[in-house]
Amino acid sequence: MLKNIRKTLLLSSSMTLLIVAQSSHADGLVTWLGGDFTDDANYAYLGGVKALNNDLSATGYLLRGSLGVGTYEYNNGVRGIDGDNYNADLSVGYQHFFSADTRLTGYLGVSCQDYDLSPNDPSSDVDGSEVGAKIGLDFLTKVTDKVSFGILGDYSTAYDTYWSRAHVGYDFGPVTVGPEIVGLGNESFDEQRYGLGFTGIKVTDSTGIDLSLGYADSSRSSDDSGYANLVMHTMW
């Protein structure tokens, strides 16, 4: 059975939208380091968002950048293929706070992606390097004092890459917990994820950890697995 290519292509940039959305302090910079894991793909990423007015909790312009590297494997129906992927992006954004608990953010920038396959796979639509425009949108609001709702996503013209996430969270105090639905893909694959997110786990006053766990399903094959995403972020 043909096994689908599984790559977490946009987590490095899209997770930043969630992290910034959770900022409630007058910090001007957030940085992050994380990893994403499925049965046949691993991805590590780092990056940061800078508020040009030095306050992530206020309306204003943002500068966002990220780097990522991953490994994956699949079967093209003839043989097994090993892949490496490298991603970098740089975007300018603007966030508008309608109230202290509701905000909308948009990003526009450039995305660079590179894929190396071994052995070469002529049937793959995603191989080599591409540079493309990238857009992002993020909305977050509080439904009640304890319940929050967010929807966010990115799209890049490089290999038609996309990532989106909808989530609801209940604030238990030390951690916010709730369900999430994630869609991601490119010219080679589409994947849907259904899981549970644990956000805002404090390590220090300025550093926290977010964790997502769940089930990942590919819509172009019967390939499925569990997934885990772990990210540590620090406000400066």
Report, as ranges of residue numbers, the positions in the chain whose pLDDT lies below 70: 1-26, 220-222
pLDDT at res. 189: 86
Determine the Cα angle at 148 with ends 146 and 152, to 5°.
165
pLDDT at res. 40: 86
Among residues 235, 231, 179, which one has the least CA distance to residue 15? Answer: 231
pTM: 0.89
